[in-house]
Amino acid sequence: MSLSQEQIDELTEKARLIRRHIINMITEAGSGHPGGSLSCADILTTLYFHVLKVDPKNPKWAERDRFVLSKGHAAPALYAVLAEKGFFPKEELLKLRKTNAMLQGHPDMNGTPGLDISTGSLGQGLSAANGMALAAKLDKKDYRVYVLLGDGEIEEGQVWEAAMCAAHYNLDNLTAFVDNNGLQIDGPIDKVMSPGIIQDKFKAFGWNVIDIDGHDFSQIASAIEQANNTRGKPTVIVAKTIKGRGVPFMENEAGWHGKAPSRQQASEALRAI
């Protein structure tokens, strides 16, 4: 799944639009999570505009690939991608977190087209993805399941129960991403509750492990291809990312985990993007 320069340029421009949407949405809402939304934007852009088999005109298409945003607080990134993909009008983005609006602070599959699961309680997404992947096996379907976890999120014990389960059932149609930006709401992950060497942990649980730069579209696409070609075990792609990627004053700053920029800061951020 090597990318041409034209494809890289197209994904780069799409990710730039996604990041602009993220800033505008969160600024308009006055609350939200910019840091982790910006860090995973390139992964989501690659998935939705190069990899996933989905149909915006038929969101519940039975043969579609599934995606689970386990770190549900990064919903602005997913919403921006879904809107750009055509699942719903872009005008909905600026209604983020408004009462009775489609787009709530965390993904709600009952109100938003294109969502396969409601998320927000950290640690649960991999379990849901396991169920989807196991269902595909039992139903002899060829769709694939992708899930995005945060590196702070994997401090949750349920993640490791789910990791054990996925390997036990040989869910080679399941690919997990870890958005490894090194920061969570209270600071660096190694200071709050260190997960240790993430790659070694997943290997010990029986997973195929791939390391990448989570902002390099070629590496993201190549890793997904390797995952798709792996047989007998699930794959985790540990993506090294920068929290707040694209906005210099937000980059590598834990304080931007869950804080909306002011109008002036948003203007500065948009100029940078």
Helix/strand/coil (H, E, C) string of 10-30? HHHHHHHHHHHHHHHHHHHHC
Domain range for 237 is: 5-272
Instruction: Tell me what pLDDT residue 209 has.
Output: 98
Residue range 69-86: mean pLDDT, rounded: 98
Nearest to 145 by CA among 171, 103, 174, 116: 174
Residue 273 and residue 262: Cα distance in Å, rounded? Answer: 16
Greatest alpha-carbon span in the chain: 53
% of the chain with per-residue pLDDT over 70: 100
SS3 of residue 60 by DSSP: coil
Residue range 21-41: mean pLDDT, rounded: 98
What does each C-alpha distance from 153 to 42, 113, 164 come to in angstroms?
Answer: 19, 25, 16
- 0.95 cut: is pTM over it? yes
pLDDT band at 168 (very low <50, low <70, confident <90, very high): very high
Q: Is the pLDDT of residue 1 over 80?
A: no
Nearest to 3 by CA among 35, 41, 45, 33: 45
The mean of the pLDDT values for the chain is 98
pLDDT band at 20 (very low <50, low <70, confident <90, very high): very high
Total domains in the fold of the chain: 1
Residues in the chain: 273
pLDDT tens digit string along 144-165?
A: 999 999 999 999 999 999 999 9
Residue range 167-192: mean pLDDT, rounded: 98
Q: What is the CATH number of the domain that holds 110?
A: 3.40.50.970
Instruction: Tell me what pLDDT residue 2 has.
Output: 81
